[in-house]
Structure formats: C-alpha cells, structure tokens
Amino acid sequence: MGSYLRYEDLERIYSVDRRSIQRWVRYRGFPRPLELSRGSVRFRSHEVDAWECAQAAKRGPEARLSESEAYQQLNELLSEATEAGDFALEMAEVNEDFAGDPDAYYPGPITLVDLFSSYLDCLRDPRYAAATRAETMRRPQLAAFLRSFAPLASETT
C-alpha cells in the first residue's frame, strides 16, 4: 500500500490553500484525490511526486529551484535518507528540547541553511551517506541548487 497525502499536507508542502490545489487539479493536471469516504479524501503521494517531476521537466534542466522549492525537496531528501517522518519538524522538536540552554537553542523556524547544514552532516555520517547521495542523485535540480548554495557552499568542497 502506498502512502497518501491529505489536503493539509499539500497546503503545508506547497504553501498554498485548498482552493489553489483544487485549481491545480482542474487546470494544471495535478492528481485527482481519492474519496475514501464522505468528506475524507487523500492524494496518492507517488502521483504527486510524478506531477512534481513533470513540472520540473517543463521548466527544463537549466531552471533553478526557488529557495522554497529547494527547502521542500531538501526536507523530503533528508526525511527519506534518515527515514524520519518529516525531517524539519523533527529537527524543530529536538531544538525545543534545548530551549533552556542559550548556547544550544536557536529560536525561530527551521531554515534552508539549517537543512543544508544537516545535509552536509548526513553526507559525512556513514549511517546516512549512501542514502543521502542516492536521494540527491534522484533530484538533479536540487543537486544543482545545493552545489551553488552560497551560505555553506565552501564546506562541500
């Protein structure tokens, strides 16, 4: 059985509202939801992934990801490589455990720089390095973005 996404998941992933997703279904070829029961619909995650790939292909290989797209894809990559449910969410929860320690606690949301730093850590960690590389290879636009990401790019060489 594959995994499924709710409207709420898609709203968070794409930073849009439900009406936007419904318009995408109508006009942009976004996958249609399955009605599991009255008032309960889900989207097949593999169909959403395929739609994302199709959108990326339309932009062409030279198109650069936006920081928002890079954040989403990097979070997905780290979630897959580390087998975390939602890497950024788990990272935020761990951060909250250090709320009383001013030397270890960083207030605010998890940023692209935070995820990039964790990505570099995963590349160095033998437990996650192979999976991280494999997930990166599956996302060529993200790989290109990460190679040129300025805040920590010098650490990748």
| C-beta of residue 117 within 8 angstroms of C-beta of residue 152 | yes
Q: Which helix (H) or strand (E) holds 136?
A: helix 129-137
| C-beta of residue 139 within 8 angstroms of C-beta of residue 80 | no
**Per residue of the chain (157 residues), what is the pLDDT tens digit?**
468 888 988 888 777 788 988 998 998 899 999 998 888 899 998 888 888 877 766 766 566 788 888 999 999 999 998 988 888 888 888 888 877 877 776 777 888 888 998 998 998 998 988 888 888 888 888 888 888 876 654 444 3
Residue 70: count other Cβ atoms within 10 Å of its Cβ: 21
Q: 137 is written with which tokens?
A: 């290879």
Q: 118 is written with which tokens?
A: 């964790």
Domain residue spans in the chain? 4-59, 67-156
Distance CA 33, CA 68 (A): 24
